[in-house]
Amino acid sequence: MSAGRVDGLGDGPADGPVVCVGETMAALAPEPVASLDSADLLRLDVAGAESNVAMYLADHGVPARWVSALGDDPFGRRVRDRVAAFGVDVSGVRTDPARPTGLLIKDPGTEATRVHYYRRGSAASALGPDLLDDEAFRGAGLVHLTGITPALSASCRALVEGALAAERPYAVSFDVNYRPGLWAEDSAGDVLLPLADRADTVFVGLDEAQALWGDDLTDAAAVRKLLPGPETLVVKDGSREATAFVGPSSYTVPALRVEVIEPVGAGDAFAAGFLAGRRRYDDPVRALRLGHLTAMSALRVPTDHGPLPAAATMAELLGANEEEWAGAVVGTGALLGAETGTDVCRSRPA
């Protein structure tokens, strides 16, 4: 943990915007959800881990700013307008007339979604540490980064390293977000470990940690031993649970059961919910619960960003005791943010 920081708050204003830095691309996906081999139509949307976090933060009422670069092309204009439509400040997004907006194509499968990237030489891949001097970082309460950005180019890696400098004026959250297709063989683990250990808040999946740093990381506690630097470390164990280590203490909250339509974007949603919860509550358990509830928003839709559960549903579950949380069922109406006359929270049958 950087000197002078308490509980990951950094030196910036506690209510300053969360500045999310990274590439967002135009995204094509089969409509309806199916494999590319059998698809007749593709839906155009946008996809980017950092802008996903910014949009979900804005949904939670947290001031969010997305900083990146886009091409001077229709895809770039589509991306900018889409992110801004959710209340995210996009004034720090640069337009590069010489490079294109990146593109990805989703190929959903029964076990996982494969993603095909067309982002080499994109506008965002040319970003570098000079970006940190931009006015967009002034007054930041938190800067959010992911492990995707250092994989894009040498200049992008320098950008992340600069953002994690020891004397930074803001706290940094870092989602490891390991994407094997972006990395040369065996290089990701060596790059991502020191970056993550320099952040104030870190998110990592247990499966990611095992893939990057070894199968001997059998539980969240083992990951904490590997990453002692962050004041707050959140280890997500798939659909089972998430554990937050805050200083010397740890807190574990089981995930809620949900019918998964498409999983991409759920990790970004979880991170946004947890960060919003840490800003709103002095209670890591509530922050973890808000992370799970926000992740459900992404799991229930074929796009990266879905509507939050109804406010009444979130309030009921955030205030539930452990037994009520573990036995909760959230109805479809609640997940879509619609108040209905049916029960949206009840115990599962034993």
Site of tokens 């089972």: 240
Determine the Cα angle at 126 with ends 70 and 267, to 5°.
65
- Which residue out of 268, 282, 304, 343 is catalytically annotated? 268
Q: Six-digit token pair at 143? A: 């800067």
Element (H, E) at 94: strand 94-96
Q: Is 268 a catalytic residue?
A: yes
Estimate the crossing angle of helix 266-280 against helix 49-59, to 10 degrees. 40
List of residues 6+ apart from 12 with CB closer than 8 A: 139, 140, 141, 142, 169, 170, 171
Distance CA 113, CA 282 (A): 36
Contact 98, 71 (CB under 8 A): no
What dihedral do alpha carbons 32, 88, 205, 163 form, nearest 10°? 140
Distance CA 199, CA 144 (A): 10
Peptide bond into 32 cis (omega under 30): yes
Q: Active-site positions?
A: 268
